[in-house]
Structure 1
Amino acid sequence: MTAIIDGDAVASDVRDGLGDAIDALADAGQTPALATVLMSDDPASETYVSMKQDDCEEVGIEAIDIEIDPDAPAAELYDTIDDLNADDDVNGILVQMPVPDHVDDREVLRRIDPEKDVDGFHPENVGRLVAGNARYKPCTPHGIQKLLAHAGVETEGADAVVVGRSDIVGKPMANLLMQKAAGGNATVTVCHSRTEDLAAKTRGADIVIAAAGVPEMIDGSMLAEGATVIDVGVNRVDADNDKGYELVGDVDFESAREVAGAITPVPGGVGPMTRAMLLYNTVKATSRQTGVEVTLP
């Protein structure tokens, strides 16, 4: 029987595990605070930010909601980030991507104080990750590590294929899997749009992490018997239902589950973990900034 890795359940465990750390901070007079900055009228971005704020309130993290007109000058966003950097009551800063075309997204990432960069995308934090001394692991790859550990999947000595090379998932995921550390020590192949014979690569893998943003590009014929499959993709495709669409991953779930030993669903797999690890990083940031030691789950 193929094991379905329940991201909702694991994320709930992470949130519950943060309770003691948040209580310890509260006993020391500290309340973690996460500022979310939205410069977009995209409904999906608005939904993501709202969900993150709800998550914060659920566990006892103060959620600071900042919205900037998408037509405002880029300087308004930069100045907002500068103000948040200088505010000692703000522990984490998240600027929801994408930002408007007239805003330099790399400047946005560089501008955030690395100590408050709870996404882990500032160049300094990327460098620390690559060097094996991460300040904050990016939320999605870190969440995937938690899912693999929860499912009892051994990464040490495993052959892992990461499909996708984005700065947000693919590159940091490959880096974490290859590092000489818990949740690492795998032999990692990174595949992408220029990879020849992708199926040959994925069929040789013990672990396949699909993060290319292409609906159902990986099916059961491309997997080894008993492989662990982590599906990061969230793609909207047309469907004959009331909404007119449905969400599918980068993996054809039905055919893959016939072959895989364990697999994440979409939705309910990686997505909840990304949000849970944002809370994790915010609590960690608060501990680092205040000097109050806590135990993280």
Structure 2
Amino acid sequence: MATTAQILDGAAVSRKIFGEVAERAANFAAAQGRPACLATVLIGDDPASHTYVRMKQRRAGQLGLESRRVQLPAETTTAEAVAAVRALSEDDTVDGILVQHPAPAQVDEIAVFEAIAPGKDVDGVTMASFAAMGLSAEGFHSCTPEGIVRLLDAYQLPIAGKRVCVVGRSAILGKPVGLLLLARDATVTFCHSRTVDLGAHVAEADIVVAAVGRPELIRGAWIKPGAVVMDAGYNPGNVGDVEFSAAASRASYITPVPGGVGPMTIAVLMEQTVTAAERRVS
């Protein structure tokens, strides 16, 4: 089936953001005598998490940011993880904190997230950040949702007045992306594992955000002709949550997997780290 949709190239858009971040990071380091610092907390031995952390550390170094890694063992308790994060929150040499998801089952992730000082929550995972997104107040946004909005903006795709179907309701992706799009005057429908007749909801949407973590759950035949498809899923084999080829034959714009939403997530994380550093010294 031929691809007719235009590809939303998150890799290209992220490169522009990285260039701006590098310039701001250099200015910060020159003015403060130290680089902006992102501390990453990794609990346990999940291979994918280790890969993600290495990728973020490498990008931070390329942009002139200090990357500080805190590795905690798999048997870490909630109290121990909270203490480690709280110490980073109180460390004046740390500007941003990222707690890599997921944590081992015995760790209360919400409690660990809440140990992050709001001004250092560059991944947008605390209740303060969630409230800021809901209230359109100053604060940090969840990185993948913000990356999705920024990618739409980069291609000058209208959001106001559009019908959006968000498939997924996680606290770090589905819910916040809906809040951000609602703040931009979209009409947002949230769908999830218990939604009846998911295809009918998707078929009504001008913008579809797939954020459920199930390979090719969103069938191409469901896509409204001319709709914009933002696939935030990543599953083994470089497969997203959307049936790409079939969806691309009906959509006007679509994100690839990989190379679509993923690079934008890291770009927003790096940008918000520099922003956090600048705010702390202003």
Sort the TM-score into its range (normalised by shorter chain).
over 0.9
> 1:42 & 1:169 partners in 2: Cα distance?
20
Cα displacement (A) at 1:190:
0.9
TM-score by length of 1: 0.91
Amino acid in the other structure paired with 1:185: D
Match of 2:197 in 1: 197
Cα displacement (A) at 1:199:
1.3
What is the aligned counterpart of 1:107 among 105, 108, 111? Answer: 111
Do structure 1's residue 50 and structure 2's residue 54 form an aligned pair? Answer: yes
Per-residue deviation, residues 128-175 of structure 1 (Å, max 9, x unmatched):
211111400110010001111112210011111111111011101010
What are the residue-to-residue correspondences of 1:197-216 with 2, within 5 Å? 197-216=197-216
- Over aligned residues, Cα RMSD in angstroms? 1.2
State the SS of the aligned residue for 1:213: coil
| Contact kept in structure 1, 2:78 and 2:111, CA below 8 Å | no
What are the residue-to-residue correspondences of 1:11-90 with 2, within 5 Å? 11-29=14-32, 30-90=34-94
> 2:79 & 2:269 partners in 1: Cα distance?
26
Q: Which runs of 4+ in 1 moved over 6 A?
A: none
Amino acid in the other structure paired with 1:227: A
Match of 1:232 in 2: 232
Match of 1:240 in 2: none
> 1:201 & 1:69 partners in 2: Cα distance?
43
Cα displacement (A) at 1:231:
0.3
Cα displacement (A) at 1:74:
3.3
Cα displacement (A) at 1:20:
2.6
State the SS of the aligned residue for 2:62: helix
> 2:276 & 2:243 partners in 1: Cα distance?
37
| Contact kept in structure 1, 2:78 and 2:112, CA below 8 Å | no
State the SS of the aligned residue for 1:126: helix
State the SS of the aligned residue for 2:130: helix
Amino acid in the other structure paired with 1:43: P
Gaps of 5+ in 1: 237-245, 292-297
Per-residue deviation, residues 260-285 of structure 1 (Å, max 9, x unmatched):
10000111111111111110110110
State the SS of the aligned residue for 1:235: coil
> 1:162 & 1:134 partners in 2: Cα distance?
24
Match of 1:284 in 2: 275
What is the aligned counterpart of 1:139 among 143, 146, 150? Answer: 143
TM-score by length of 2: 0.95
- Identity in percent: 44
Aligned length: 278
Match of 1:243 in 2: none
